[in-house]
Each structure stands twice: as structure tokens, then as C-alpha cells.
């Protein structure tokens, strides 16, 4: 959500953001409603002032005057009631539109219609380290893993080594269901453990947040109303109960922890790290990535969230800091990856600046998204009413940022495929060996 005053004063910027982000919103309609809202409120306020004044004077009046006053007030009440209804109606509509107004993208964000507009700007692998593709495009092409033999995809590897069973998963859970088995289970928990330890060392407080959430949390994070289809709604036997949802990430709950709070500037930044299951309906992507465990309905994720001062420079610094933490995970795992500057058409409505990190997945012969790093400035904080008091006593909304630390099993695709050997075995990444208890996963004879 943006400040209505900002919207009024910066209509061109907002309209450009709506166009660039391809949001279905008529800003003029919102501005008309806003004007109407203010007119009605002014009118209502003057009626209320009349009423307040009359009530104060009432006890002092003579009984004759009281009778006259009562009649007058009845008229005021009638008008007030009618006006209140109008205001309420306008406010509902106004609020609905306000929820749709996108954040203004950063000056560094490329304008583009879809994922083809995203700009890769940083590549990495163990051998070459960081490569800047603008300076060294040939070297960037060398980042992906090379194989001297015909590779297998994670589905085949997972089946042969008894690590992933999608057939049984589909039988039990339906389309996109899966079972993780044996070393894959240990790897997933090892990854989560490593991620949590790293985040604690970086000064983040660890949380296991609720993933069953009320709708305010999803409105707050920006997943509602636009992304409603992505979210599972829980069917309650008791229909009178409040509707709850299965969140697709711990971000809504991590943010909702601070909903309605006024923090102190000295307590910022707040750094939290959540671990949770994540649920996504994947409605709207039925035909995409149907094989394996790339696009699935449930997975586990360690997520980092920062609440910082309302300062563009500081926000940018945290976006980079969180990107480095995520890169650190991939570097620990020695997996080749690249970082993309996400363009306007591929970023969410609330985002100011966004990076995706994509990890090399040999069977796709491409990088696949494994991390998503976003700065939402105060867009979420306005929805969630998360403020702080500055040292000189001003009230401002915090900036919020979030990024993946590790998401599994998607990252297992990269691990299994990049670490596969000619004989069909998989070398366990060094950092995971203590958790898996072996150096290599071989086919059982």
C-alpha cells in the first residue's frame, strides 16, 4: 500500500508503475473515490461537530429550549446516518483499490514485460568465483557444470538411489505429490539445520511461525487480494469459524508478528528467520514443470526477513546483505548459480527491488530459481501498520525485506544433478556429510 497523499502528488509515477507492473487498476477511479471520500468526510465532520456542541449545551437549556433542540438534533441525526452509510460504502471500495496500488519500482529495476526482461548480473561457481557477465560474457557461459558423460535428471537419480518417489507421492497426495526418502531426508534436514545455524550466526532470531494464518497476514504481506488463487483455504467443519489459510511462505507470519506495533528506532533493524512448511496451490501453472520436485504443492523453507528504518540506502544495503547470505549457502554447497535483477513485469506489486538467485540444474540445461530476494520498502508495513518512532519522535513505517535462505526439495534438484557421477552415484556435498553420514550415495546392490 502507498500513502494516498503520495499517490495524489505522484500520479504519473504511480501510473507508470501500474503499466510497467501490468496491474489491472484504474488509478483515476481511485482518485475520484478519494476526492469523494474527503468531501463526504468534511461534510460528516461538520455535522458531528454540531451534534457535539449541542450535547454539551443541552443540560443548561430550559425545558422549552430542550424540546426545540431535540427536534433540530433529530434532523441532524437523520442526515448523519445517511452520510455515514455513504462514507462506509465509499471506504470499502476505496480500500479495495488501495490494496491494488503497486509500489514504485527502484531506478535500478529494468522495465520489462515478463521473465525475459530480467537481467542476469552476477554469476558464480567454485572454479571461477564471481563473474560479471557484462564485462566477461564468455566466462559467464563457463559457469554451468560440465559433464563427460550423459547426465541423468533428479527424477531418475532419485528413483535409482531410492531418494525420491513421485509415483507414490502422486498416489497419496495427488498431482505434484512426492515422497522424499533416506539420504534425501537427511539432506533436507541438514540443509535446514545449516541454514538456521548460519542465520543465528548472522544475528537473526529464529522462529518457527504458524503457517495456518488469518487473512490479515496475507493482506499484509501482499499475497492477498491479488495472489488469492495461489493460497490454500482451509475448509472448516465449523463454518462459523474464521476462515484460515495455508501460507505459501513464512513471510506473512514473520511480518504479522509485528502487526500494529510501534517500534523504537534503536531496536531496528529487526532480523528474523523462519523455518516452515510452505503450501502453494500452483493454480495458473498447471502445465509448467510437471516433472519431478521443481514445482510442488508443499515444501520446506528457511526464510529471512528484515525490518529496518525507512531509508532507501539502508534498505538497499539489507537487500544486498540478504543476497550475500543466500549466495553464501550456495557457495557452501559449491553449486553454480547466477543472480538476476528482476524486471517490473516479473516482480510482485509490492516490490521496490528484487533479485532472484537461480541455481544450475543440469537436466533443465538452465538455471532454476531457488531464492528470491526483495525489498518492499514501506509497502507491506503500511498494510500491516508496522511503525517506529524515530529518535526525534517522528512516527514512520518500517521498511521490510525478505529472502530465501534455503528451500528444499527444490535445491535437492541442483545437488543431485550437479553432484552426480558417471556410475550413477551422487557425491554428498562436504557441508552435508555430517548430516547424511556418508560421502557418497550409491545404488544398493
Catalytic sites, residue numbers: 280, 295, 369, 372, 410
Write down the least CB distance from residue 385 to RNA, Å: 8
Q: Which residues pair with 330 in a beta bridge?
A: none
* Rounded-to-integer distance, Cα 442 and Cα 445, Å: 9
Backbone angles phi, psi at 264, to 5 degrees: -100, 145
Is residue 59 involved in binding RNA (CB under 7 A)? yes
Is residue 427 involved in binding RNA (CB under 7 A)? no
Binding mask 129-148 for RNA (x = CB under 7 A): --------------------
Is residue 62 involved in binding RNA (CB under 7 A)? no
Q: Which stretch binds RNA (CB under 7 A): 53-61, 108-116, 215-223, 369-377?
A: 53-61
Is residue 95 involved in binding RNA (CB under 7 A)? no
Is residue 395 involved in binding RNA (CB under 7 A)? yes
Is residue 73 involved in binding RNA (CB under 7 A)? yes
Write out the binding residues for RNA, residues 256-285 only, by CB under 7 A.
261-262, 264
Is residue 36 involved in binding RNA (CB under 7 A)? no
Interface size with RNA, residues (CB under 7 A): 35
Q: Which stretch binds RNA (CB under 7 A): 81-89, 151-159, 316-324, 339-347?
A: 81-89
Q: Report helix angle 410-418 to 183-201, nearest 10.
A: 110
Q: Which stretch binds RNA (CB under 7 A): 47-55, 97-105, 170-178, 269-277?
A: 47-55
Write down the least CB distance from residue 344 to RNA, Å: 27
Using CB under 7 A, which of 26, 28, 45, 320 touches RNA? 45
Q: Which stretch binds RNA (CB under 7 A): 68-76, 112-120, 196-204, 351-359?
A: 68-76
Is residue 242 involved in binding RNA (CB under 7 A)? yes
Is residue 236 involved in binding RNA (CB under 7 A)? no
Using CB under 7 A, which of 31, 54, 97, 226 touches RNA? 54
Using CB under 7 A, which of 26, 28, 38, 200 touches RNA? 38
* Rounded-to-integer distance, Cα 360 and Cα 370, Å: 10
Write down the least CB distance from residue 265 to RNA, Å: 10
Is residue 49 involved in binding RNA (CB under 7 A)? yes
* Rounded-to-integer distance, Cα 69 and Cα 58, Å: 8
Is residue 88 involved in binding RNA (CB under 7 A)? yes
Write down the least CB distance from residue 262 to RNA, Å: 5
Q: Which stretch binds RNA (CB under 7 A): 43-51, 158-166, 216-224, 319-327?
A: 43-51
Is residue 208 involved in binding RNA (CB under 7 A)? no
Residue numbers at the binding site for RNA (CB under 7 A): 4-5, 38, 41-42, 44-46, 48-49, 51-56, 58-59, 69-70, 73, 77, 81, 84, 88, 238, 240-242, 261-262, 264, 387, 393, 395
Amino acid at each position: 500500500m502507498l500513502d494516498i497523499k503520495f499517490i495524489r502528488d505522484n500520479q504519473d509515477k504511480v501510473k507508470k508503475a501500474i503499466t510497467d507492473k501490468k496491474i489491472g487498476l484504474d488509478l483515476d477511479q481511485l482518485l475520484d473515490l478519494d476526492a469523494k471520500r474527503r468531501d463526504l468526510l468534511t461534510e460528516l465532520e461538520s455535522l458531528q461537530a454540531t451534534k457535539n456542541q449541542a450535547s454539551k449545551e443541552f443540560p443548561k437549556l430550559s425545558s422549552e429550549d430542550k424540546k426545540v433542540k431535540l427536534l433540530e438534533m433529530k434532523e441532524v441525526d437523520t442526515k448523519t446516518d445517511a452520510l455515514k452509510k455513504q462514507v462506509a460504502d465509499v471506504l470499502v471500495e476505496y480500500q479495495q483499490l488501495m490494496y491494488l496500488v503497486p509500489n514504485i519500482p527502484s531506478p535500478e529495476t529494468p522495465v520489462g514485460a515478463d521473465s525475459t526482461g530480467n537481467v542476469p548480473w552476477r554469476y558464480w561457481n567454485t572454479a571461477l568465483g564471481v563473474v560479471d557477465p557484462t564485462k566477461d560474457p564468455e566466462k559467464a557461459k563457463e559457469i554451468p557444470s560440465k559433464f563427460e558423460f550423459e547426465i541423468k535428471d533428479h527424477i531418475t537419480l532419485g528413483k535409482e538411489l531410492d531418494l525420491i518417489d513421485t509415483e507414490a507421492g502422486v498416489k497419496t497426495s495427488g498431482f505434484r505429490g512426492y515422497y522424499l526418502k533416506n539420504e534425501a531426508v537427511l539432506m533436507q534436514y541438514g540443509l535446514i539445520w545449516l541454514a538456521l545455524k548460519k542465520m543465528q550466526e548472522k544475528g537473526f532470531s529464529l522462529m518457527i511461525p504458524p503457517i495456518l494464518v488469518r487473512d490479515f497476514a496475507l493482506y499484509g504481506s501482499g499475497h492477498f487480494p491479488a495472489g488469492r488463487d495461489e493460497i490454500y483455504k482451509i475448509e472448516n467443519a465449523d463454518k462459523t469459524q474464521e476462515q484460515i489459510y495455508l501460507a505459501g511462505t513464512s513471510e506473512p507470519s514473520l511480518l504479522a508478528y509485528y502487526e500494529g506495533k510501534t517500534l523504537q528506532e534503536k531496536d531496528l533493524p529487526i532480523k528474523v528467520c523462519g523455518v516452515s512448511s510452505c503450501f502453494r496451490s500452483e493454480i495458473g501453472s498447471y502445465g509448467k514443470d510437471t516433472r519431478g520436485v521443481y514445482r510442488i504443492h508443499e515444501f520446506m523453507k528457511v526464510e529471512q526477513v528484515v525490518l529496518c528504518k525507512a531509508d532507501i540506502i539502508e534498505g538497499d544495503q539489507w537487500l544486498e546483505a540478504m543476497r550475500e547470505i543466500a549466495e553464501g549457502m550456495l557457495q557452501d554447497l559449491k553449486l553454480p548459480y547466477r543472480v538476476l535483477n528482476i524486471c517490473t513485469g516479473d516482480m510482485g506489486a509490492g516490490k521496490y527491488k528484487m533479485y532472484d538467485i537461480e541455481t544450475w540444474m543440469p537436466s533443465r540445461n538452465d538455471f532454476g530459481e531457488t531464492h528470491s530476494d526483495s525489498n518492499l520498502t514501506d509497502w507491506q508495513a503500511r498494510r500491516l501498520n508496522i511503525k517506529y518512532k524515530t529518535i526525534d519522535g517522528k512516527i514512520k513505517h518500517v521498511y521490510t525485506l525478505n529472502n530465501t535462505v534455503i528451500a528444499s526439495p527444490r535445491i535437492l534438484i541442483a545437488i543431485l544433478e550437479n553432484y552426480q557421477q558417471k556410475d550413477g552415484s551422487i557425491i554428498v556435498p562436504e557441508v552435508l556429510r555430517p548430516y547424511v553420514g556418508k560421502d557418497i550415495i550409491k545404488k544398493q546392490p
